[in-house]
């Protein structure tokens, strides 16, 4: 699941690519994360 820790980790990776000029500019990874179904996924996981 894409929780805050995963988003932060991916942001660090994106920042590293930006620092190395692999990406042409700053990327806000969180802007691309779709959390609409997070509650549904949590419910399915808890029901086994």
- The 3-class secondary structure across 12-40, one letter per residue, is HHHHHHHHCCCCCCCCCHHHHCCCCCHHH
The answer to whether residue 2 scores a pLDDT higher than 90 is no
Distance CA 48, CA 33 (A): 25
pLDDT tens profile 6-25? 999 999 999 999 999 999 99
Is the CB of residue 39 less than 8 Å from the CB of residue 16? no
Give the model's pLDDT for residue 3.
Answer: 85
Give the model's pLDDT for residue 19.
Answer: 97
Give the model's pLDDT for residue 7.
Answer: 94
Give the model's pLDDT for residue 41.
Answer: 85
Averaged pLDDT score across all residues of the chain? 91
pLDDT tens profile 28-39? 999 999 988 888
- And the tokens for 5? 């820790």
């Amino acid at each position: 699941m894409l929780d805050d820790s995963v988003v932060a980790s991916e942001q660090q990776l994106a920042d590293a690519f930006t620092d190395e000029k692999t990406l042409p500019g700053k990327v806000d990874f969180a802007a691309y994360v779709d959390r609409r179904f997070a509650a549904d996924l949590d419910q399915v996981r808890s029901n086994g």
